[in-house]
Amino acid sequence: MSSSTPAELVGARGFTYLFGPVFSRRLGRSLGVDLLPYKTCSLDCIYCECGPTTDLTSERANRVATDDVIAELDAYLGRRPPLDFVTFAGSGEPTLHAGLGRIIAHLKQYHPQYRVAVLTNGTLFSSEEIRRDVLGADLVVPSLDGANSESFQAINRPAPGITVEKVIEGLAALRREYRGTYVLEVFVVPGINDTDPEVLALRRAAERIQPDAIQLNRLDRPGILPTITQASDELLDRMRTRLEPLTVFVVPKRRPGEVRRMDDAKIDEAILARLADRSFDTTTLSFLLGLHEGLVAKHVNQMLADGRLVRVLQAAHDNRFLVHRAI
């Protein structure tokens, strides 16, 4: 590739721990960071698109060379590529790597212009050390697919010692300590976690955890078990209704080649709808709407100037503010 190639066109090929940037429905342009040997995880989820877990464990360790990961990030981010997020995800559970906190701290110190996301199965946050490691991230998205023991075991097939009670306790503890955007992901498996008792249990767990929002996700590509079917729009809408008044949104189906376009009026309308009954910051709004944060911030600032929105809270510790619909 020529050295004159624009930075925005340069991918992470040739790197061991970096992949992408990936154009995500939720995160925009996201540089992935994979901290684990394939496929190391604390769960063996029946819907996993990466395949069966080959190293099922809840033991944290230095799974890869942390210094090498940092060196790759410095080399890639030194090009100043336009990114929406640097995202810890990949082929397993990122919190299993003992160097995660050090890498996040390095990113915030030396590359503060980039937001950091952690996509996690949420199983290990009963550990104070692991909770502390992710506090510097801008966005944390843990999963909770089943809030009863039976559904949790059936869907997620955890490593020995991991229980749904401990997972919910850890997620609630993280919410009390974490000040960034916190979105709880529920992967809907028709026939297992979509019944009235299961949805009620999920709602009660979410009320205890208090995330900024819940996102309902579904199968895009074949999982481990061929019997798993994709949840329909109708099913997800019913679940969303049953989880109200919690803030819930549905991840749209992936349509090849689809580009999402919204005119200014529709963006304003979408922002007002999201702010109908609670306040958000622009990072959370952009995640919920699937729009670039800069675009959302532009509209929010104009709506503040027009008096359609009001600023309700200044979070001095991280310069974030929340906005709400004007009364």
* Residue type for position 325: R
pTM above 0.85, yes or no: no
- pLDDT digit string, tens, across residues 80-98: 998 889 999 988 999 999 9
Is residue 23 situated within a structural domain?
Answer: yes
56 DSSP β-pair partners? 41
Q: If you average pLDDT over every residue of the chain, what do you get?
A: 85
Give, to the nearest 10 degrees, the angle between helix 293-306 and helix 282-289: 120
H/E stretch holding 320: strand 320-325
The pLDDT-based confidence of 292 (bands split at 50, 70, 90) is low
| 286 and 180 together in one domain | no
| 229 and 272 together in one domain | no
The domain boundary residue, chosen from 183, 217, 250: 250
Q: How many domains does the chain have?
A: 2
* 248 φ/ψ sector (left φ>0, alpha ψ -120 to 50, else beta): beta
Q: What's the rounded Cα separation, in Å, for the pair 137 and 174?
A: 12
H/E stretch holding 203: helix 196-209
Is residue 1 situated within a structural domain?
Answer: no
Q: What is the mean pLDDT of residues 156-185?
A: 95
| 213 and 106 together in one domain | yes
The domain boundary residue, chosen from 223, 250, 277: 250
Give me the CATH number covering residue 244. 3.20.20.70
The domain boundary residue, chosen from 219, 250, 281: 250
The pLDDT-based confidence of 261 (bands split at 50, 70, 90) is low
| 304 and 186 together in one domain | no
Is residue 256 situated within a structural domain?
Answer: no
Is residue 255 situated within a structural domain?
Answer: no
The pLDDT-based confidence of 321 (bands split at 50, 70, 90) is low
Q: Which two tokens stand for residue 29?
A: 């342009």
Contact 219, 47 (CB under 8 A): yes
The pLDDT-based confidence of 313 (bands split at 50, 70, 90) is low
| 174 and 302 together in one domain | no
User: By residue range, what is the domain housing residue 289?
Assistant: 264-325
Is residue 311 situated within a structural domain?
Answer: yes
* Residue type for position 63: R
Is residue 2 situated within a structural domain?
Answer: no
Please state which of the ranges 68-72, 154-158, 284-288, 299-303 shows the lowest mean pLDDT: 284-288
Q: What pLDDT, on the 0 to 100 scale, is given for residue 317? A: 42
